[in-house]
Amino acid sequence: MTSLERKKPEYPGLNLTYRTLLSVVKYFKRRKDSNYSSINSKFIYDDDYNMLKTFLDESDIKVRTLDVQIVDLADEIAYAAHDLEDCLRAKAFTMDEILHEYRKEYHKDSKYQESYIILKQLTDEARKNAGYCTGKSNSAEFNRLFEQEISSLIINTLINDIDFVDIEDIDDNFKIKTGTQNTRELGFKNYAKLADGLKNIIFKCVNQTNDVYYYEQRGKRLLHYLSELYKEHISLLPPEYRAKERIEQYDLKDCDDKLLQKRLICDYISGMMDGYAISTYEKYSGKSFDNILWTIRSAVNRGNDLNLPRLVGKTADEAKIFADELYKKIGNNGIVAFYPYFVAHKSGTLSISYDNIIVEAVNKDLWNLVTNQDLDVSLSYSYDGILLSYHGNKDFFEQDEIQQLLVNAKKAKSLFRDTLIEGGSALLEWSFASSCDITGKAVGEQYLVFYEARTI
């Protein structure tokens, strides 16, 4: 905040009050501290430390301030509750796995065992509140409600447990780790072990999954590539992240420009969201981060295109070679189309007439609807988005999914307007799907894909 968030031309960073700065300093420690034998893993830079230390000495204020104590507790609650909810929603693990690992990890510690009992009680209450085995909701709806309930119950439990506690009761190394000068701080009076245990177990469970390990390893390669790219091509950085320009602008005469440039590159990359980092990597490297599988299809202007060559679910290199050869054969008589090979989560048809829209859907692949005659739900809508009638599981779709289908149905109505006016209809086949990595696993965000449209 004192260096990167540039808002004024005359100085770097934000012009914040000392109270605001101190409200985010959870660890008032240098990287190397004479009171600590090893290098601190959580610290602030020496120039920030010296600046705050001067103010604290002059103002007779003790760290940690009440503001940052609140921030710290909010972080702990978020780790315990919201990370758990996110991971359950992503199906990284189940609640039973969390309980199992919690019991396994802390079965010899009486304080953690008390927290296990509380966690088990909260889990049972969340299941009850979500309608477990009542027959009032399907499994997808129950899981969604349970994820929200367990998160809410944990948050409520921890918030109501906040009180002033003695520093030595928080953690044996708390004072050394944070640099606090207080004897008492805001903390969890009874359930500190619940918050701490959940944070540790969630981290452990997440890192045990192959998908997370695979993503992390690819992430490391991406970060290394971006770091080397910006070291070699400094002009690709925004001006405020170029050391020489920064030194000139702020008259930093005693600054080592090479060392500063390394720091600025690190700061720039660390400020990227995942999506932006991935898109930047793909832009400059010419490679796909996900290394997904691809499908190649073709069509001709004249002649029968039912049996034209195609390639399904192959790597980018294989797909490129096949597409190039196929394009040479087809030439100007047609097209070669390529798109990510996808895994369908929900599929179906949109039947569009002049007066209404009928959505039929099935779980996973459209094959289950067309060939197996399975049908999870049939919904009839007006073009105003009013549900006219339904058959089957009314809650099959998430609200945003049905909205996407209705928006595209209106576009199709415009596209096939002449046919619909004459009493005909249009039929579109669709899937909510994800792309596939080279191991066959779904990757990336779910998207809506249409792959067949015809008039009747």
SS3 content of the chain, % helix, strand, coil (to 5): 50, 20, 30
CB 408 within 8 A of CB 448: yes
pLDDT of residue 122: 97
pLDDT of residue 292: 76
Identify the DSSP state of 190: S
pLDDT of residue 303: 67
Mean predicted confidence (pLDDT) in 4-23: 83
pLDDT of residue 329: 86
pTM: 0.62
User: What is the CA angle 110-115-121, rounded to 5?
Assistant: 130
Q: What is the mean pLDDT of the chain?
A: 88
- % of residues, the chain, pLDDT over 70: 96
pLDDT tens digits along 343-395:
899 999 999 999 999 999 999 888 877 777 789 999 999 998 899 999 999 88
pLDDT of residue 302: 73
The pLDDT of residue 288 is above 60: yes
CB 365 within 8 A of CB 431: yes
The pLDDT of residue 198 is above 60: yes
Residue 300's DSSP bridge partners are 334
pLDDT tier at 206, thresholds 50, 70, 90: confident
Classify 354 as helix, strand or coil: coil
Question: Which pair of tokens denotes residue 102?
Answer: 């919690």
CB 296 within 8 A of CB 337: yes
**Domains of the chain, CATH where assigned:** 66-207 (no CATH), 210-285 (no CATH), 294-340 (no CATH), 342-455 (3.30.470.20)
Sheet containing 334-340: order of strands: 311-314, 294-300, 334-340
What distance in Å separates the CA atoms of residue 98 and residue 364, rounded to the nearest whole number?
28
pLDDT tens digits along 290-341:
677 888 988 887 766 667 788 888 888 788 889 989 888 888 888 888 888 8
Q: Look-up: residue for tokens 């189309």?
A: 337
Lowest-confidence pick of 69-73, 154-158, 303-307, 331-335:
303-307
Burial of 249 (0-12, 13-18, 19+ CB in 10 A): middle
> H helices then E strands: how many in the chain?
18, 11
pLDDT of residue 36: 55
What distance in Å separates the CA atoms of residue 346 and residue 117, rounded to the nearest whole number?
39
Inter-helix orientation angle 192-207/210-232, to 10°: 80
The pLDDT of residue 145 is above 90: yes
- % of residues, the chain, pLDDT over 90: 53
pLDDT tens digits along 103-144:
999 988 888 889 999 999 999 999 999 999 887 878 888 989
Mean predicted confidence (pLDDT) in 38-44: 85
The pLDDT of residue 87 is above 80: yes
The pLDDT of residue 65 is above 90: yes
pLDDT of residue 339: 84
pLDDT of residue 262: 94
pLDDT of residue 134: 85
pLDDT of residue 37: 59
pLDDT of residue 149: 96
pLDDT of residue 306: 62
pLDDT tens digits along 161-174:
999 999 988 877 88
Question: Which pair of tokens denotes residue 220?
Answer: 């490391």
pLDDT of residue 210: 65
